[in-house]
Structure 1
């Protein structure tokens, strides 16, 4: 079952080991996963437009930012541990993420004109480019590839956790937010690692469908892929903000 390994903490080997594989019409398919991913993205965009509209009206956006982030985090944890609930909770998660992304995007847009459109374009452009390269087998999720990306992803996660803890002691790591050369290089590396996680997610979804994972895994896989896309978008947004500060 090593073929199900992924750097996305949601799409990992144990995810499929805990599921009962099926070989009938009720099995997971790539087409079904794509359709559900599109549906979740539409929900994200709808909620994002709504929260952006709240910001444009001059109303406080903080409740939408905090509420969306907290509710989304809770829903994500529930879905991870109760994968069979994904068909019911993944849409709710998408709405929460949309509220958060709409608010944070509106804040960035108020500071740097056009930055959100650029970030969205780069995110989907990266997604499509990597999908094409993966389907053409130009990029392959080999064991070494997985090991490198996993190590880098884990390192970034630990670094962000340390930075978050240090903020409670009023200690900030400058290059995380400043547009210095080091800060830009760091963001470029993080964006690259986030993008490479997409390749592993494509590989996991393809193999999951081939092995006959349960139908509800279409929702679960779409939810997990959405997490990676959100991370990629936020990192690209941060990188563009740093470039605009120079």
Structure 2
């Protein structure tokens, strides 16, 4: 790629890597003989996905030793003390590790593995404890794969162009959704506004619309991640950045999956009423 093309692409995405795990890559000026490749990024993505399955299977084996008992008709679970410890460890991996990975990108091969193990364990916990969710866990996988495939087609065909304006819009949508959720949470603690918060939290239609909006925002982030991967490969960044790109992609895919799972759960609960 010519220097002019590289400069133009850099100016397009500099400072606007929408996924925080992929931020600042446009400022990397390292060049080595062994450069990042699409194949290398895909292989590492499959590695992280395989680790998620490993976490899922690990929870299934542990459930044989310490069975979880779901209370029929509810999402409440009787969890033995011995089984609660690994669950909270997995939850810590799922929640905390992405923030650490953002600060310490060199450790992403290890941190990403811990995050994926935690993710798989939590999904296994849900499957083991809430019988009604076992089917939608699989349906969510299929829908997530379809969304990822659709986003790949949209990006590869050029139907959707990822520009700085696109990234600005996506980031604005995310911040708006976070702000809205924060306002509802704050209202829940204010006596005069508690009814308003309960209305938003218990309204099925609003909940479903919120889940759909979350899926759309996460899918748009995936398009931005594809653009980042293209930048890494076509600008000859070192091979170590394959881990960052792969983890960023898997992180977004997991985000989409949980949003789809939330939507299916809400729809299922609405049908049961």
Same fold flag (TM > 0.5): yes
- State the Cα deviation string for residues 100-134 of structure 1 (Å, max 9, x = none): 23223444x52345111111111111111111221
TM-score, length of structure 2 as denominator length: 0.78
Residue 23 of structure 1 deviates from its aligned partner by 4.6
1:45 aligned to which of 53, 77, 101 = 53
Deviations 1:145-194 (A, max 9, x none): 22211101122233344555666779694476646222211211111111
Higher alpha-carbon deviation: 152-161 or 42-51: 152-161
Q: After superposition, what is the alpha-carbon deviation per residue over 1:73-121, rounded to whole angstroms, capped at 9, x for unaligned?
A: 33323322121222333222221222123223444x5234511111111
1:20–1:214 Cα contact (<8 Å) kept: no
Distance 1:114 1:70 in 2: 26
* Higher RCO (Cα < 8 Å, 6 or more apart): 1
The unaligned stretches of length 5 or more in structure 1 are none
Aligned counterpart for 1:68 among listed residues 80, 90, 93: 90
Change (3 A) 1:75 1:138: same
Q: Which residue of 1 aligns with 2:172?
A: 151
2:211 aligned with 1:194, yes or no?
A: no
Q: 1:181 to 1:88 in 2, by over 3 A?
A: closer
Aligned to 1:131, what secondary structure does the other structure show?
A: helix
Q: What TM-score do you get using the length of structure 1 for normalisation?
A: 0.85
Q: 1:207 aligns with which of 222, 227, 231?
A: 231
**Structure label with greater radius of gyration:** 2
Query: Does 2:43 correspond to 1:21?
Result: no
**How big is each residue's C-alpha offset from its partner over 1:35-74, in whole Å with a ceiling of 9 and x where there is no partner?**
0000110110121132245457624354344221212333
Change beyond 3 A, Cα 1:212–1:68: same
Change (3 A) 1:175 1:34: farther
Mind listing any 5+ residue stretches in structure 2 that lack a counterpart? 1-9, 69-78
Which residue of structure 1 lines up, in the alignment, with residue 67 of structure 2? Answer: 58
* Aligned residue pair count: 242
Contact 2:45 2:247 in 1 (8 A): yes
Describe the shift of the 1:42–1:132 C-alpha distance in structure 2 as closer, same or farther (beyond 3 A).
Answer: same
Note if 1:230 corresponds to 2:254: yes
- Report what 1:6 is aligned to: 17
Structure 1 residues 145 and 46, CA, compared in 2 at 3 Å: closer, same or farther?
A: same
Report deviation, 1:32. Answer: 0.6
1:83-232 alignment runs, 5 A limit: 83-107=105-129, 109-112=130-133, 114-163=135-184, 173-174=197-198, 178=202, 180-232=204-256
Q: Please tell me whether the aligned partners of residues 36 and 222 of structure 1 are also in contact (alpha carbons under 8 angstroms).
A: yes
Change in 2 beyond 3 A, CA 1:82/1:192: same
CA distance in 2, matches of 1:130, 1:54: 36
Asked whether the equivalents of residues 18 and 171 of structure 2 are also in contact (C-alpha less than 8 Å), the reply is yes
| RMSD of aligned residue pairs (Cα, Å) | 2.6
